Chain A
Amino acid sequence: MNFPDDRQYTDHDEWVKRDGNTVTLGISDFAQSELGELVFVDLPEVDTELATGEVACEVESVKAVAEVFAPVSGVVIAVNEALEDGAETINTDPYEGGWLMKLRVADDAEFAPLMDAAAYSAKVGG
């Protein structure tokens, strides 16, 4: 399984990529594999304010629904609209084409605990 080391990972199997005050959010290769073929993503509206730990969106596979949690407080500034007709991209390309949303966060924003790729890989047995 693939866990790129240019980003961090949460306890709930999201990945988080920080670029200044912009944070991109997705789900890990492990998460997509556990869920199976994704068929629907219920993305939030742009400008939605999210608090740390709040449900940011839901992703659904044929068999299951999973909640994706905001790892940090912020405002949704973009969502990956391509997923609305192609949720399976999350399966095939979880780290690039399968990104879920971008958040704008404050300079002093406090993140939920994050792991680097090695720690996350060890946690999920990858």
Chain B
Amino acid sequence: MLRRTPFYEQHVALGGKMVPFAGFELPVQYPHGIAVEHNAVRTAAGLFDVSHMGELRVKGPGAAAQLSQLLSGDIVGMAIGEASYHMLVNEQGGVVDDVYAYRLADDDFLVCVNAANRDKDREWFKAHWTHDDAELTDEGDDWAQLAIQGPKAVDVMAYLCGEAIREQADRTFTERFVGAASGVLVARTGYTGEDGFELFIPVAQAQVVWDAIQTVAPATGLVSCGLGARDTLRLEARNCLYGHEINDETTPWQAGLGWTIKMDKEGGFIGREALAAQKGKATERLVGLVVTDKRIPRDDMDLYVGDECIGRITSGTRSPSTGKGIALAYVGRGYGRPGTEVEVDVRGKRAAAVIHKGSFTTL
């Protein structure tokens, strides 16, 4: 049984093409199409329903100490109002999930998890819970979530919340009125490689916030966007997607996510010993690649140098911003240097490609 977000009726009314995703019915695109949606986010602003994302609340005097053991980065040192990106690392060094943590108070955190991992993460938290003075609540059904992304996202938010929002720093959040809705957590975070905001909305306020956003949409050029554009945008920005670049078997070292790991934090964390043993020893690593002919790289295609299979694509598409085929892929040691020429096996035909460093938004 597929679930619906609080905005299902609005997606259908806008002509959204609804598809199953992580147990939810969500729009993959609207009638204007993925290219229009993608370009709106690169040049103006786009609106995404991300209510399927899960939220785990951790509260109590031991909340920071408990989360510090469960998440890979610095938790104790987070300021109130700060948002930070973390891995959940299993005892083998694999990635249980990638999450965002938000510190609401000294003793109060919200952890935003991938929709498909909500149950897994909650049970993993419970199984590794050691602090009696901290309490876990699954608030996934209590929050709606919208993302407003793009260079003009801040203009949209200024209409909705007032001009002061322009001063809000990246990776921070504040509790605000959005239109007439109170208690909305407005975070300057996102997944598109652009400036933007993610709004955690108490579910009872969801329609009020949606209507307020629609009221200002025409004046700001805000375009409704679906999962298709969300994926092309994140891939151009080289953001990992759980289940593609990272999973229970990949380590953060391989995936280029070592920057999310604070190895020396007090009290350690789950997975630390495995990560220490694996550091610097990854046999393959995540790289970007750009196809130099017109073919389009897709998930799970193999990479070759001559007759040797040297890697595999984890995410591939045609970049709407540049028109070129782009991909993220794991390649063996020695093949990750930018400029290295490889070939993609596109359903039996070889497409020339080159290892690329950095984002794909301009090529």
Chain A interface (Cβ < 8 Å from any Cβ of B): 36-37, 39-40, 42, 58, 60, 62-63, 65, 84
Question: Distance in Å from the Cβ of B36 to the closest Cβ of chain A?
Answer: 9
Residue B29 interfacial (CB < 8 Å):
yes
Question: Distance in Å from the Cβ of B322 to the closest Cβ of chain A?
Answer: 12
What is the size category of the interface that chain B forms with chain A?
10 to 19
Residues of B within 8 A of A39 (CB): 296, 318, 323
Q: Which of B225-258 contact A (CB under 8 A)?
A: 228, 231-232
How many angstroms between the C-alpha atoms of A39 and B347 in the bound complex? Answer: 17
Identify which of B34, B232, B294 contacts A40 (C-beta below 8 A). B294
Q: Is the CB of B29 within 8 A of A40?
A: no
Q: Is the CB of B318 within 8 A of A62?
A: yes
Q: A62-B232, A62-B317, A65-B298 are in contact. Are A37 and B28 (CB under 8 A)?
A: no
How many angstroms between the C-alpha atoms of A120 and B34 in the bound complex? Answer: 27
Q: Is the CB of B318 within 8 A of A40?
A: yes
If over half of B's interface residues share one DSSP class (helix, strand or loop), that class is named, otherwise mixed; here it is mixed
Q: Is the CB of B318 within 8 A of A42?
A: no
Residue B116 interfacial (CB < 8 Å):
no
How many angstroms between the C-alpha atoms of A60 and B298 in the bound complex? Answer: 11
B292-320 interface mask toward A, CB cutoff 8 Å, 1 = contact, 0 = none?
00111010000000000000000001101
Residues of B within 8 A of A84 (CB): 294
Residues of A within 8 A of B296 (CB): 39-40, 60, 65
Q: Is the CB of B28 within 8 A of A63?
A: yes
Residues of A within 8 A of B320 (CB): 62
Q: Which of B202-217 contact A (CB under 8 A)?
A: none
Q: Is the CB of B33 within 8 A of A37?
A: yes
Residues of B within 8 A of A62 (CB): 34-35, 228, 232, 317-318, 320
9 residue pairs A–B, Cβ–Cβ below 8 Å: A36-B17, A36-B29, A36-B34, A42-B295, A60-B296, A60-B318, A63-B228, A63-B317, A65-B347
Residues of B within 8 A of A63 (CB): 28, 34, 228, 231, 317
Q: Is the CB of A58 within 8 A of B34?
A: no
Residues of A within 8 A of B34 (CB): 36-37, 62-63
